Amino acid sequence: MDATIPTVLVIAGSDSAGCSGIQADLRALEALGVHGLSVVTVVTARARRGLHKVDALRSELVRAQLAAAAEGAVPRAVKIGALGNAAVVEIVADALRGLADVPVVLDPVVTPRQGRALLDEAGFGAFVRELVPAATLLVPNRDEAVRILGKPVATARQARAACQALAAMGPRAVLLKGGHFDGAECVDTLWDGTAFTELRAPRRELPPLQGLGCALSSLTAAALALGATLPDAVRRAHALVQEAVQRPRLLAPGLGTLGDLRDAVRALALVAPGGNATT
């Protein structure tokens, strides 16, 4: 691998349908010309009729993957998704302590998906205690914010209050995604510790899509790895996702994914901070 290519360490679950999880993460990184180092934590069996089975990998295998990834270049950013259980959370938290200056984008996969948990109860407690404070950017949807805070989040005012309450738990910044709220617009709310930014997009009638949150988090991590500031990285990722959802791909009935993110990059003429095209 070319040593000049920026890398992002992705720690997440595997989706057998290839629409979300680590598969979506790696596609998003590749679209911006960023290399993904991958650590699989959870394996899912998912098809068009739903999520059939979820198994967390043995903790020693997760630890071995992290050690192997560390033998290469130091990543310029880390993206974390589903973790499975408390043992894996603790292993990941320990690994992050060795990457103190590397930005961490944390996607809190803490609510059940199609009736199946991707993080158990003990793991949730460890997640809040060990990983939320270590995040540079926490990227919850409404349900995840409700689970972490234990209080309703339904209005714009509550969304802002939730961002600040989550930030008070330790992360440098919080991006509360707006897809699960009501209204004619989807509003993602970013609190960077000093100010709010609202990223607005029309709420579109779309077929069911998988991996939107994964892509948003990974695109943000990729932009950080390319040298963007945190607010600019979030804006770039949001713009790319909005461009990509206009061209969804349907792999099978009930199994959709984003359109070609590379096409979205080209359409938006997105460039790296130094002025060089990323594709």
What pLDDT digit, counting tens, does each position of 120-139 carry?
999 999 999 999 999 999 99
- Band the pLDDT of 32: cuts 50, 70, 90: very high
Q: DSSP string of 66-100?
A: HHHHHTSPPPSEEEE---BSHHHHHHHHHHHHT-T
Structure tokens at 17: 């349908």
Distance CA 77, CA 224 (A): 7
In 3D space, the residue among 270, 222, 188 whose CA is nearest the CA of residue 24 turns out to be 222
pTM over 0.85: yes
Q: Which long-range contacts (CB under 8 A, 24 or more apart) does 14-18 make?
A: 14/40, 14/42, 14/43, 14/44, 15/44, 15/46, 15/210, 15/211, 16/43, 16/44, 16/45, 16/46, 16/47, 17/46, 17/47, 17/48, 17/210, 17/251, 17/255, 18/251, 18/257
Q: Which CATH class is domain 7-136+209-264?
A: alpha beta
In 3D space, the residue among 40, 212, 51, 56 whose CA is nearest the CA of residue 119 turns out to be 56
Percentage of residues of the chain with pLDDT beyond 90: 66
Pick the residue with more confidence: 51 or 35?
A: 35
- Which of 38-42, 121-125, 224-228, 249-253 has the lowest average pLDDT? 249-253
